[in-house]
Copies of this chain bind each other. A is one copy, B any other.
């Protein structure tokens, strides 16, 4: 546990804004730990919002997310862009594995100071990664990243939520993964802005593309004003197709900006974040009313509920009144 006193927040933010990788890593650790200095960090980061495009990358285990991320980083570097990578693991309450992951991932880009790569797990956050991720994104944006790739495992509901944090969400599939299309059915289809069929040199890749095309044809997303979700083929291990994916991301970015959808997505994302922080603050106020010393305290109300003197809704009304007094 780091003491609050040991963190010189303004200096740390200054260093991160200058692109110091250690300072960036330190700030993201503060985010992971839900450090009490985060409020100060975010206040200092606010005027340094930057212009990072946030790209979500999701898919089932085994579709080649890490390889694809590496190929995309290389493609963006060829364009001279500064790139951040945030690999989030919604299932892990620990970051031990994440640290190992960092080292493995760093190999291709370890010596490139135009790339920040960071794995993240939510240790202390009540709101979990849906709260921590935008804060980490804010750090990477302030550090001058033009693009941040947010990589998540495409299993369950968590990744759909995290995908919603991105400006553009890529859903990766691969042939020979029985669950690829099933995953798509279970909500992934809704969040995908771009489909990437990786391992396209393998048997069955064209079938995956056909299946996706068929499913997209069933949806009603194809009106003129809406984005036509492209389906791209890549062989990330051979860096094939990454430039085309970057082009599609750029086209999607143009569409987002032209339709006002970019503002809408970013505003909705910020609203979720502000709401989560506000709810935590309100929860803490309620927590302060536990203990019974307070006459309007929660324990006293609970005792009256147990005694059948009031019902829990009436008690909750009194509690809300006490919290908002």
Can you name 30 A-B residue pairings with CB atoms under 8 Å? A38-B313, A39-B313, A42-B311, A43-B311, A46-B309, A46-B310, A46-B311, A46-B314, A47-B308, A49-B308, A134-B312, A268-B302, A269-B302, A270-B302, A270-B305, A270-B306, A273-B305, A273-B312, A274-B305, A274-B315, A275-B286, A275-B316, A277-B313, A279-B279, A281-B320, A282-B320, A282-B323, A323-B324, A324-B324, A324-B325
Q: Nearest Cβ in chain B — how far from A104, in angstroms?
A: 28
Residues of B within 8 A of A311 (CB): 39, 42-43, 45-46
Alpha-carbon gap, A42 to B310, bound state (A): 9
Which of chain A's residues 260-288 have a Cβ closer than 8 Å to chain B? 263, 266-271, 273-275, 277-279, 281-283, 286
- Contact B312 A274, beta carbon cutoff 8 Å: yes
Contact between B49 and A316, CB atoms less than 8 A apart: no
Produce 1/0 per residue, A292-325, CB < 8 A to B: 0000001101110111111111111101100111
- Give the distance to chain B from A67, nearest Cβ to Cβ, in Å: 32
The answer to whether A48 has its CB under 8 Å from any CB of chain B is yes
Partner of A277, one of B45, B46, B316, B323: B316
- From known contacts A267-B299, A268-B302, infer whether A319 and B283 are also in contact, taking CB-CB under 8 Å: no
B residues in contact with A38, CB < 8 Å: 313
Interface check A290, CB cutoff 8 A: yes
Cβ-defined partner of A298 (8 Å) among B269, B271, B306, B314: B271
